[in-house]
Chain A
Amino acid sequence: MEVEIKVRRFNGEKSYWQKYRVPVLSGMTVLDALLYIKENIDATLSFRYSCRMGVCGSCAVKINNKPRLACETQILQLKDVQIEPINNFRVIKDLITDFDDFFAKHRIVKPYLIRKNDSYEKPVEMIQTPKQLKKYYRYSLCIKCGACNSVCPVSSTRDDYLGPAIMTTVYRFMTDNRDEGKDERFKIVSSERGVWRCHFASECSEVCPKNVEPAKAVQKLRIKSIIYEIKKFFK
């Protein structure tokens, strides 16, 4: 069976659609099809890919208007296939987008455990019950593929908005019982470019390929921020 695949291309100057015909077998994913095109039809087609099992987060593209991981999307479940780079990221070439800003934002929210008595030389075993683990575990599954950012209406118009993925990371560290750095993170997150910009379009949760539910994390983070601000006010 053959399937026609429409790919949105960009060569640095202009952007255009290109069509390819790809023979399809059962079990073939969109990534397999793209690789087939690259290896047999058009070697200039560029896209990111790596693990092909949905944990590395490289291959988020817009398939039929929805951001998805190319490696996880079975081609036979789609009727026509139309592939574009994800929104809200600057396109570098074809399906490759610029993630530098995204990772820079990730950096400024201090996404690591902040502990007062942290010893590099003499680490100690810390206690964390399965219940405490479960509280944040889901939010630690984010693969930073950028799908949620690409559908967030605020991310599309304000480029320094932290975005769902990054704020989920903040929430993950805040709910970790080993962490002691809440104040530092509130400073960053409870700001104009943080939680107050979210208006709960909740599309991020709809498209997340790992079911991390960023919308929920952001709402919870906002409640925490409100309580924090009120407490600070009365101090």
Chain B
Amino acid sequence: MLVDWFRIKGRSLHSLAFSFHRLTGIVLMIYLILHLTYLTSLRFGKESYEYLISLTVRPETLPFDLLLLLATVFHGVNGIRLVIHELGFVYEKRNLILYLTFGIVLIVWLYAGYLMFLLIMG
């Protein structure tokens, strides 16, 4: 059953990372489609583009932006962790690397989020 991909009760952080990776992957894929559609407005001239920008880039949408950012950062950093393991390296240190991954994700996200916050809030 599909819920088993996101089952974390009684399981280790490794399963959490797996669930999250899968979830963020799906979210990012949907976002990619939206993003491409959205950019089409560029072709219809300045007004339609700026209308869409004003619709999405504003303080009210900031939480969504931040979540999206988290998804991106997590998917990227965790992806690199997976690449390392899947090439057969440092298996024995997998717990340490997992903690490190979560740490890096948090730091990068907080920092980038802060920058974004500054940008949007002016």
Query: Which of B5, B85, B94 is in CB contact (< 8 Å) with A156?
Result: B5
Q: Scan A55-81; emit 1 where CB is below 8 A from any B CB, else 0.
A: 000000010111000000000000000
B-contacting residues, A199-228, CB 8 Å: 199-203, 205-206, 213, 215-216, 219-220, 222-223
Chain A, residues 149-163, CB within 8 Å of chain B (1/0): the string is 001010011000000
Bound-complex Cα distance A53 to B100 (A): 37
Residue A87 at the chain B interface, CB threshold 8 Å = yes
Total interface residues on B, CB under 8 Å, equals 23
Interface residue B87 (Cβ < 8 Å from any Cβ of A): yes
Q: For the complex, is B43 an interface residue (Cβ under 8 Å from A)? A: no
Min Cβ gap A219→B in Å is: 5
* Number of CB contacts from chain A to chain B under 8 A: 62
Chain A residues, Cβ within 8 Å of B85 = 200, 202, 219
CB distance from A198 to the nearest CB of B (A): 9
Which chain A residues border B122 with CB–CB below 8 Å? none
A151 proximity list for chain B (CB < 8 A): 11, 15
- CB of B104 within 8 Å of the partner chain: no
Which residues of the other chain, A, contact B12 by a CB distance below 8 angstroms?
203, 206
A153 and B18 contact, CB distance less than 8 A: yes
Docked complex: B12-45 residues within 8 A CB-CB of A: 12, 14-15, 17-19, 21-22
Q: Which residues of A contact B (CB under 8 A)?
A: 62, 64-66, 87-88, 151, 153, 156-157, 199-203, 205-206, 213, 215-216, 219-220, 222-223
16 contacting pairs across A/B (C-beta < 8 A): A87-B4, A151-B15, A153-B4, A156-B1, A156-B5, A156-B7, A157-B4, A199-B18, A199-B22, A200-B82, A200-B85, A200-B86, A202-B14, A202-B18, A205-B94, A220-B88
Enumerate chain B interface residues (CB-CB to A < 8 A): 1-2, 4-5, 7, 9-12, 14-15, 17-19, 21-22, 82, 85-88, 91, 94
